[in-house]
Amino acid sequence: MESTVGNGYQLNLSDQIKIYLQLAKLRIVTLLVFTTATAMIIAAGGFPSLDLFVITLLGGALAAAGSSAINQYIDRDMDARMARTARRPIPSGRIEPINALLFGVGMIAWSVVILGIFVNLLAAFLAFLGAIYYVVLYTLILKRNTVVNILIGGGAGAIPVLVGWAAVQGSLNFEAFLLFAIVFYWTPPHSWALALLVNADYTKAKVPMMPVARGEEATRVQILLYSVQLLLITLLPALFGTLGALYFVIAVILGTGLIFMAVKLMREATKTVARSTYKYSTMYLALLFLAMIVDRLLLA
């Protein structure tokens, strides 16, 4: 089965599947689903039931994938002007914009239906809220208009932990919002390290990311300040008794590493160090949440 899309591309079924997976941004979806899984394990005091676990992660993945696709639909003009994003499915002409939009809307709708029927209404509402937060508040309102786009918009990436917690507990509490705060405060240093790498692209596209609006030096300072705040916030789950000593030690080690990278970035204002900082910040969140899982399972 083949189809022809813009720019004369001839695509078979396998190619079409790959395009839709690119729209979904599987690496980001995987990280978000992992944070959801972590929240479920902490909320349950161990592994929740397998059916609840799988269905919740499926619903969360669909919401994240759909949000990503709609984001690319909205940003298709900007993506076409930036070297980093010019090969994405829409600006490269491999998929019609309307098809990407319908795919995104469909994924979010399925997420809400699945979570609402098989999990609970609060989890479904939070997944939908996360999609609206990302698409409307961040992409449409903040991203192109204000330097605080990442500061406020980072909440969208933190909502999956609330979905996971609500799926298990049917409600939210202080512990759930501690996990939310960790992802929320992780987002700025992570995103700004990437922004330093592609500053020329954002300048060309007139997107007021921190390096464009405030300069690279100010951005490096902010990365350090948020890294320090993040370290302090990551210690709270242990201090409040949600997690134990193993997590506390690993959080200190990982957080110290992030601060070290931020200090190095201030001293060596190079693309190489910015890239290393970005890669470390990605690994940092995955390892931190893995430490949460191991710690919680040992306490169970």
Note the pLDDT of residue 1. Answer: 45
Element (H, E) at 11: strand 10-12
Residue with tokens 């990280």: 31
Residue located via tokens 């710690």: 295
Torsion angle in degrees (nearest 10) through CA of 91, 192, 211, 205 = 10
User: How close are the terminal C-alpha atoms of the chain, in Å?
Assistant: 51
| 1-171 is a CATH 1.10.357.140 domain | yes
Q: What pLDDT was estimated at residue 245?
A: 95
| pTM, full prediction | 0.93
Confidence of residue 229 (pLDDT cuts 50, 70, 90): very high
Amino acid letter for position 76? R
DSSP string, 56-84: HHHHHHHHHHHHHHHHHHHTHHHHHH-TT
Summarize pLDDT for 51-102 with one digit per residue, the tens. 999 999 999 999 999 999 999 999 999 999 988 889 999 999 999 999 999 9
Domain chopping of the chain, boundaries: 1-171, 173-300
